[in-house]
Each structure stands twice: as C-alpha cells, then as structure tokens.
C-alpha cells in the first residue's frame, strides 16, 4: 500500500471511529427552548414553527421538522391523505398552536374543512426524544379511511448512500427511485402523467421501529410506533421532487391518541457547527469595503486568528493581514464576527484562513467585475428564450417550444400558479378556442414553462435601462427569429442586449395584436404538464388543438391532443400600464437596431396609455399575475413615456398622480430619479428628500444583521430585494452623491457572491470559485445548473434557521431561477463597474 493509500485508509478509519464514538455517546435530553422548539446539542425538533406557504401549497417548510448537526433533514410531519403527497395535494389548515413551556409540550390543532375533519398533534419532550401523538375527538370520517396518516418526510439527498433498519432488518436507501409501484388508485397530482392509470408506491420497509442511517451521527434518527406500524416510502417514484416518507395510518372508528410515535434525533454532546467564512467567491475591487463575516455556532467561544494570504505565481504565500475577527453579536441562531481588510488594495490573488479552514482563492483587481455578467447574458437569458430552439455547441438546451400557443382559458376558473380567469374572456374568443399570434418571443418565467407578463415587462425594462446607461455591445449569441433558432457562443454582429430586448418586445406586442390588451400570461393547462422537466419543446406537440380530431390524431397543423397552453385574458389596467412602460423603455433602446420595431413599440405604448386615461381602470386582480399596484404601474408608464418622448403632458400627469405614489415613494425611487432631467426643479427638491429618507432608513427587514443588507423572512428568499437595494443606492449616488457613496452596490454583490448566512456559495451559478451548482431550473432533475442564473438565496426557516440547500434543487423558495433576476444582477454588476472607473 502506497503512502497516499495508507493516509486515506487512516483518515477513513479515524472518521469511522469518530462517527461510532459520536453515536455511542449518551445523547442529551431534549428541552423546549425559548425559541419554542425542542433542542439538545446538535439536534432541534421544530413543531409547526412554520406554516405552509399559501402561494404555492406545500413548500417543505412546516409541520414536524428536524434539524440535526446543522442541516434540516426532515419536514412536513403532519396528517396527510396519501403516502407520498405532491405539491398540490391537500394539506391540513392550521387552526391553533399552543406552547406549554413549563411542561415541555406543544399542541397544534388542524383541520381539513372539506372533510369536516379536525385533529390535534401533540409533541411532548421525552428524554432524548419527543413523543408525538395524533389525537382525535371524533372518529376519522369514513371517506378518509385508508387515506389519512401521519407522515414525516426525510430529505433524499441527506440519505443517499445511507442504510436503515426496520425491526432489525437492514435495507439501503436507493440513490435513484427503484421501489415497487402498484397500479390503480388516483393519480398523484405531481406525477407528471396526463394519461393512463394511476399508480401508488409500495413501502420500502415496514415495522414498529425504524432506525435511519445507523452509522452516521449527522443522519441517525430513530422512530418507534407505540401501536400500529411504520412504513417507509420513496416519494420519488411519483415525482422527482418527492422525499423519503415515514408513515402510520390512522385507524377507523377510534378517538383519543390514534397514533403514537417516539421520534429520537441524534444529539451529540458538545457538538459545534464548523465556522463559515462568508466572503466574496469572486473577489473585490480595490476601492470597495472588504469584510469577511464569520458565522459561528451559538456555543462557539470564538477566538482564533484570521489570516489574509496573498498567493504568488510560484505557489508561495505571504501573510498580508492577520488578527482576531471583531465580535459582532448574535443574529438568528448564530454568533458573528467580522474581519475587515478594506485597506488591502494591491492587485493580486488572495485567500482567507481561519482556524484551519481556508477559502478558495479570490482576486482583488480593478477589473474583478468586468466579465461576471457574461454567463447571465451569454447563457442563462438565451436558455430562457421561449419559441426558439436554443443550441450550445453539442448541446440542445431545448427545441422550439409552444408553437401551438395558445387556447383561451375557461371563464370563472382559478388555475395553478396564481392564474385566474374572471367571468368573461374579455376577448373575441370563446373558452378553449385557439388565440393565434401568441407563439412569438418571450422568456420562460422560471424553472417552469409559463410566460408571465408581469415578469416579461420587468425584464424588458431592466435590459433597456442597462442599454441606456451602460451601452454593453457584447455579441456572443446568434439570434434568428425567422428560423426561430439561437446559437450560444456564436457572434452574429448584433449586440446581444438589444436582441434580447427585441425578443421580449415581440411577445408584448403580440398580446395587442392577438386580443387588444395585455394578458396575464400563458401557462400549462394542468399540473401534469406544469411539472414537466427537461426539454420544453417535448411538453406539447406543437400543433394547434382541434376538438374535431380524436385524442392523438394529427394533421400537418392540428392535433386532437389538448396540450396547448392556456392564455388568461381578464383585463387588468395594471398589466397594460406595466406593458406600456416596457414598450416605451424598449423604444429608446431599439433605436438604430430595429427602428421599425422601436416605432411600433412607442406607438403602442402611447396608444395604451391614452386608452387607459380615457375611461375608468379595469381592476381585476389575482395573485401576482395581474400586474403590480395600479397607481405605481401608471406612474412607471407615464415616466417611461416622458423619458421616451419628452412630452410635457406626461410630466404634468406625474405631478398630478405623485401624491398617490408618495407614501410608497421609496419603491419607485429609481424611476423618479431617472426622470429628473425631464421634470421641473421643484421635482428634484422633492425627490432629494425621498432619497435622503431612503438612505437613512437602514434598518433591514429582520433587524440589524452583520451583512448590511435587507434579509427578508417570507416563503421566497430575498436576493431580489437585496439587488434592488443596491440598484436604488446606485441611483441615489449618481443623482445626489452627497447623500450616498454607493457602497450598498458592493454590499449587495458581496452578499450574492458568498458573504451571507448558511454557507459561502455564490448565488449566481458559474460565477465565483464556488457557486450554486444544484439549482431549480428546467434541468433540475439532473441536479445541475444554468450558468448565469440567480437563485432566491437564504430562506429563513422560522424562528431562526437560515437555509440554502445545495444538495437538493427542489427547494424552489431558495433555489429557483426567475428570469428577471439575471437582468437585475447584470445591472448591479454594471453599476459596480462604472463606480470603479
């Protein structure tokens, strides 16, 4: 055996001994903390500290949850109506949560109102574990017999290459779903199947006592049933985003404690989470502030020296700066310290070292931001282009999708993904009828395949502003709308930015050509198609649906398969104003590139604005598909038209509606600053005061944090808010440099590039030494990424756990790319480049 082999074998032996010793140690008893969850060293059991996100049903952030050795490995402990429920399957409604701190007890009341079924889940600390009980005051409704059971879902990526025991019989967790299915029964809503019989999974194992990952201290969990049986399922057989599920059925005809479990996590006395050195995986411009933020376990005494090392071409290293990081204090569940090396400005390659942990190398250089926006514009934006075949060298990202767009949505219908059609179509088309002309332009909204109009016009406006402000003429993409083909990394002599703007404008104009007003968007007709993964062109047949043809029958142009996307068309003035704003902005950016398209865009923007001004607004609203706040969208349209035309009627109208906007002025500050040259001096004075207040409002959403950015706490993580904060600060700095030095631009970029809670990965895929390489894109089933995509970021699992899961892409609230995030990031990068010039 060679030296290397002996070293590796010895290391493996040491790791094995440590794991065995950690498991052999007597675990500490779980106690109910002030944060209202059960805790011991390295183990937390949350009991409905969070509730399911109402926007998109099951978000994998509620019920009984288990955090063990720093990672959330189980969630959704609750009564469910199937063994492996999907995202849109029924979920109980939270009625009441009561915490008895003195007696270590949490009791939660929930209900399924459609079934007149109320139940309680009671959690009681019991030494090293937690006793869980499902309590019924009335027997299970007959229609739920054989359906209702207590589920607890375990993160698949945490149990890849792990084993289990069921009543002493060993088994292995499959790396890829390979469990047995049985035909029949209702189809799982998330199965992706739109034809054929349903199928349900059979258990991988059953027993009264389950032991998961018996040899791994970080994954080891025991579950014992007081009565009845435990069954272990693999939910990935029905949906790639399924989890491993432990389940016990609720017996019929009984009341009181109908299910009893003892859940025992593996606490490790004295366990401490390793420090996280938050830093920019990209690097820093010489003139910007440079702060490494060290995230420490709450019980970590800190101490130790941070060293900044400069790396020489021959591999040598020089200590440039060293010292103990300055304590910052507590935030959420961790302690923080800060190491400031802002005074280091010499160009070079550097790394940080703290207590034996070393970062990847990063640069300090004037050109550090010059090319980091290229993956976004070169790859991500082309990949998201709808109605185009997109090719990259040997790889086809997707074929030409949705040639069959679109069918009129049915009236009085609430759909998936926040789409809804009102009582009329507001178009000449009957429900189900083909609406021609919508199969051009636009971008796929996110990891799914709809075209959401509000996102489309946000992208067009941001790209148009980038072009106006920075004029990036980079050309690395061939776009041929006649052939409906895109070639990545193939220059065609035209600026990519303008080509992308034109692509969005083609879709926005198609709405008016097709139905005469802005639509909510086009989206899949059912959940089975909505959950499609892979090539967007394979999810429909590309042929217009004809009800006179039988299912599967085809002609050269039509098909009897009703797979065409639906278009939702209830009139909403907010959408029309938002679209008009984008068309006006695009008209300025397209000049000299496609003058005819620029003229058409401006003409349509003015026509839409005038038509909206001529009558009362259409106020239909639903979810986030019918535009933003109506007065705000009107302001944006008016301001963009003022910038495009200089006509004073628009300036007068802005002055007229500003009192409505003023209470929310900070949200519209970027646009208000943009039109300073077109407004009277009194406007400048008023907006300067708004800017002054915005700069002084430094309290982030979660209170002070060591990162100096606004960290949000909703069900969708907050990178968008952080980018917007940076862009707003840049706009203030440009207009009123005496009010702001623009450093929020760099703080936002540092956060995105790795200076954030939970890890130090860059949230921009393929940007920085270590970045998001497992994300929620259209290729998420491959556990891969799309270069240049920006994920939502750190999600705060209440009350105090910051999370961004790198090994499991299906946490959409943390990891889903949304198309408008990349242009916003590109704008922020250009702001940093300009500030460094």
Phi and psi at residue 138, in whole multiples of 5°?
Answer: -140, 150
The closest of 135, 62, 124 to 93, measured between CA atoms, is: 62
Confidence of residue 378 (pLDDT cuts 50, 70, 90): very high
The ranges assigned to domains in the chain are 4-196+204-265, 276-364, 375-644
276-364: CATH topology is: Immunoglobulin-like (2.60.40)
pLDDT mean over 568-581:
98
| Total-model pTM | 0.95
With H, G, I as helix, E, B as strand and everything else as coil, classify residue 409: coil
Chain CA centroid to CA 396, Å: 25
Region 720-745: mean pLDDT is 97
Which residues touch 214 (CB under 8 Å, ≥6 apart)? 23, 163, 164, 165, 220
pLDDT of 325 higher than 90: yes
Q: Please provide residue 667's backbone torsions phi and psi, each rounded to the nearest 5 degrees.
A: -70, -20
- The C-alpha atoms of residue 44 and residue 35 are separated, in whole angstroms, by 11
Q: Which residues on adjacent β-strands are paired with residue 259?
A: 134
Residue 3, H or E segment: helix 3-24
pLDDT in tens, 599-622: 999 999 999 999 999 999 999 999
Res 437 pLDDT > 90: yes
Token pair of 731 as six digits: 């706009």
User: Which is it for the CA torsion 739, 740, 741, 742, positive or negative?
Assistant: negative
Give the mean pLDDT of 411-427.
96
Rounded CA-CA distance 370/769 in Å is 16
Lowest mean pLDDT among 3-7, 19-23, 137-141: 3-7
Q: Can you read off the two tokens belonging to residue 263?
A: 């859940």
pLDDT for 12 beyond 90 = no
Choose among 220, 201, 210, 68: nearest CA to 159: 220
The whole-angstrom separation of Cα 68 and Cα 47 is: 15
DSSP class of residue 406 equals -
Alpha helix (H) ranges present in 677-790? 681-696, 719-735, 743-752
Whether 377 has a pLDDT exceeding 80, the answer reads yes
Q: Which two tokens stand for residue 516?
A: 């005469």
Q: What is the pLDDT of residue 668?
A: 97
- For 786, residues 6+ apart whose C-beta sits below 8 A from its C-beta are 379, 380, 383, 765, 775, 777, 778, 779, 817
Q: Above 90 in pLDDT, residue 478?
A: yes
Residues 6+ apart with CB under 8 A from 684: 676
Strands of the sheet containing 521-523, edge to edge, are 407-408, 566-568, 521-523, 451-452
Return the CATH class of domain 4-196+204-265. Answer: mainly beta
**Residue 51's pLDDT is what?**
86
pLDDT at 191: 41
pLDDT score at 5: 40
Mean confidence (pLDDT) of the chain: 94
- Give 576: exposed, middle or buried? Use CB within 10 Å, 0-12, 13-18, 19+: buried
Closest-CA residue to 479 (of 406, 401, 381): 381
Beta-carbon contacts of 170 under 8 Å, excluding residues fewer than 6 positions away, are: 163, 164
pLDDT > 70? residue 758: yes
Round to whole Å and give the CA distance between 44 and 66: 6
Q: Is the pLDDT score of 188 beyond 50? A: no
Helices (H), 471-551: 496-514, 527-530
- Total residues belonging to the chain: 837
| Distance (Å, whole) CA 822 – CA 671 | 19
Q: Which residue matches tokens 């600053």? A: 673
| Whole-number percent of the chain with pLDDT over 90 | 89
How would you class 680 by CB atoms within 10 Å of its CB: exposed for 0-12, middle for 13-18, buried for 19 or more?
exposed
Phi-psi region of 273 (alpha: psi -120 to 50; beta: other; left: phi over 0): beta
Could you tell me the pLDDT band of residue 179, with boundaries at 50, 70 and 90?
confident
C-alpha 705 chain-centroid distance: 21
| pLDDT on residue 56 | 65
Would you call 726 helix, strand, or coil by DSSP?
helix
Tell which wins on pLDDT, 16 or 359: 359
pLDDT tens string 106-161: 999 999 999 999 999 999 999 999 999 999 999 999 999 999 999 999 999 999 99
Six-digit token string for 499: 């080509």
pLDDT band at 23 (very low <50, low <70, confident <90, very high): low
Torsional sign, CA 511, 515, 518, 524: negative
Average pLDDT over residues 299-310: 95
Place of tokens 């002996």: 6
CB 95 within 8 A of CB 126: no
Which DSSP helix (H) or strand (E) runs through 831?
A: helix 821-836
On the question of pLDDT at 218 being above 90, the answer is yes
Residue-level pLDDT at 295: 98
Give phi and psi for 749, each to the nearest 5.
-65, -40
Residue 702's pLDDT band, with cuts at 50, 70 and 90, is: low
**CA quadruple 752, 758, 761, 765: dihedral sign:** negative
Task: Write down the pLDDT at residue 623.
Answer: 85
pLDDT, position 339: 98
Angstrom distance (rounded) from CA 150 to CA 245: 10
What does the pLDDT read at residue 230? 98
- Report the C-alpha gap between 242 and 613 in whole angstroms: 49
Q: Which CATH architecture has domain 375-644?
A: Alpha/alpha barrel (1.50)
* % of the chain at pLDDT higher than 70: 94
DSSP reduced 3-state for 378:
helix
* 283-284 and 362-364 beta bridge pairing: parallel
Cis preceding-peptide flag for 596 (omega within 30 of 0): no
pLDDT category at 53 given cuts 50, 70, 90 is low
Question: How far is the C-alpha of 728 from the C-alpha of 275, rounded, in Å?
Answer: 32
Q: What is the pLDDT of residue 87?
A: 85
List the one residue out of 767, 747, 749, 763 whose CA is nearest residue 804: 763
Is the distance from CB of 764 to CB of 376 less than 8 angstroms?
yes
Classify residue 376 by burial, with Cβ atoms within 10 Å: 0-12, 13-18, 19+: buried
pLDDT for 698: 61
């Amino acid at each position: 055996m060679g030296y290397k082999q002996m070293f590796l074998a010895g290391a493996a032996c040491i790791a094995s001994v440590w794991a065995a010793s950690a498991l052999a140690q007597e675990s500490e008893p779980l106690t109910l903390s002030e944060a209202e969850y059960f805790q011991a060293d390295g183990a937390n059991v949350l009991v409905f500290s969070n509730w399911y996100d109402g926007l998109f049903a099951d978000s994998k952030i509620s019920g009984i949850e288990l955090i063990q050795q720093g990672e959330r490995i189980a969630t959704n402990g609750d009564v469910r109506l199937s063994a492996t429920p999907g995202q849109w399957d029924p979920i109980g409604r939270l009625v009441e949560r009561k915490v008895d701190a003195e007696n270590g007890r949490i009791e939660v009341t929930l209900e399924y109102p459609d079934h007149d079924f109320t139940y309680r889940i009671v959690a009681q600390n019991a030494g090293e574990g937690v006793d869980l009980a499902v309590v019924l005051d009335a027997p299970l409704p007959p229609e739920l017999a054989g359906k209702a059971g207590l589920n607890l879902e375990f993160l698949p990526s945490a149990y890849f290459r792990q084993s289990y025991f069921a009543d002493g019989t060993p088994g292995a967790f499959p790396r890829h779903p390979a469990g047995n299915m049985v035909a029949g029964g209702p189809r799982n809503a998330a199965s992706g199947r739109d034809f054929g019989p349903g199928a349900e999974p059979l258990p991988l194992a059953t027993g009264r006592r389950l032991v998961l990952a018996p040899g791994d201290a970080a994954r080891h969990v025991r579950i014992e049933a007081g009565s009845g049986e435990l069954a272990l399922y693999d939910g990935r057989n029905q949906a790639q985003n399924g989890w491993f599920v432990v389940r016990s059925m609720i017996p019929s005809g009984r009341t009181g404690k109908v299910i009893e479990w003892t859940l025992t996590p593996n606490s490790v006395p004295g366990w401490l989470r390793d420090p996280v050195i938050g830093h920019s995986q990209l690097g820093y411009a010489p003139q910007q502030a440079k702060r490494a933020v060290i995230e420490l376990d709450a019980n970590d005494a800190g101490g130790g020296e941070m060293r900044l090392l400069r790396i020489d071409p021959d591999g040598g290293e020089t200590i440039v700066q060293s010292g103990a990081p300055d304590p910052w204090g507590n935030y959420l569940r961790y302690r923080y310290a800060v190491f400031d090396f802002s005074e280091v400005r010499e160009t070079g390659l550097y790394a940080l070292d703290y207590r034996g942990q070393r970062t990847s190398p990063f640069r300090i250089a004037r050109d550090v931001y010059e090319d980091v926006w290229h993956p976004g514009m070169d790859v991500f934006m082309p990949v998201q282009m709808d109605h185009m075949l997109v090719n990259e060298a040997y790889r086809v990202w997707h074929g030409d999708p949705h040639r069959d767009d679109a069918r009129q949505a049915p009236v009085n219908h609430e759909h998936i993904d926040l789409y809804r059609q009102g009582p009329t179509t507001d178009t000449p088309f009957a429900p189900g009828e083909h609406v021609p002309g919508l199969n051009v332009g636009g971008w796929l909204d996110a990891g799914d395949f709809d075209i959401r109009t509000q996102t489309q016009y946000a992208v067009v406006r941001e790209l148009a502003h980038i072009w106006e402000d920075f004029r990036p003429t980079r050309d690395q993409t061939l776009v041929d709308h006649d052939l409906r083909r895109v070639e990545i990394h193939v220059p065609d002599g035209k600026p990519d930015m303008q080509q992308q703007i034109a692509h969005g404008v083609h879709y926005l104009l198609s709405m008016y050509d097709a139905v005469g007003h802005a639509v909510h968007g086009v989206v899949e007709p059912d959940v089975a198609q909505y959950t499609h993964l892979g090539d967007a062109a394979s999810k429909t047949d590309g042929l217009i649906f004809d009800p006179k043809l039988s299912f599967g029958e085809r002609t050269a142009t039509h098909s009897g398969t009703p797979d065409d996307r639906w278009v939702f068309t209830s009139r909403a003035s907010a959408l029309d104003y938002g679209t008009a704003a984008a068309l006006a902005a695009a008209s300025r950016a397209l000049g000299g590139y496609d003058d005819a398209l620029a003229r058409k865009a401006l003409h349509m923007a003015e026509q839409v604005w005038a038509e909206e001004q001529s009558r009362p607004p259409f106020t239909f609203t639903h979810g986030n598909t019918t535009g933003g706040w109506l007065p705000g969208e009107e302001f944006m349209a008016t301001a963009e038209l003022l910038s495009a035309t200089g006509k004073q009627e628009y300036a007068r109208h802005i002055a007229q509606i500003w009192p409505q906007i003023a209470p929310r002025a900070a949200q519209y500050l970027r646009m208000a600053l943009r039109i300073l040259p077109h407004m009277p001096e009194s406007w400048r004075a008023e907006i300067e005061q708004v800017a002054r207040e915005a700069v002084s409002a430094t309290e982030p959403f979660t209170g002070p944090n060591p990162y100096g950015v606004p960290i949000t706490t909703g069900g969708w993580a907050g990178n968008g808010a952080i980018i917007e904060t940076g862009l707003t600060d840049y706009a203030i700095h440009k207009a009123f440099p005496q009010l702001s030095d623009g450093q929020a631009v760099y703080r936002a970029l540092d956060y995105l590039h790795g200076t954030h809670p939970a890890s130090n990965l860059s949230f921009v895929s393929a940007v920085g030494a270590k970045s998001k390489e497992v994300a929620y894109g259209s290729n998420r089933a491959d556990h891969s990424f799309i270069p240049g995509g920006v994920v939502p970021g750190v999600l705060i699992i209440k009350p105090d756990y910051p999370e961004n899961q790198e090994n499991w892409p299906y946490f959409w609230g943390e990891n889903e790319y949304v198309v408008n995030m990349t242009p916003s990031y590109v704008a922020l990068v250009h702001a940093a480049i300009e500030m460094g010039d």
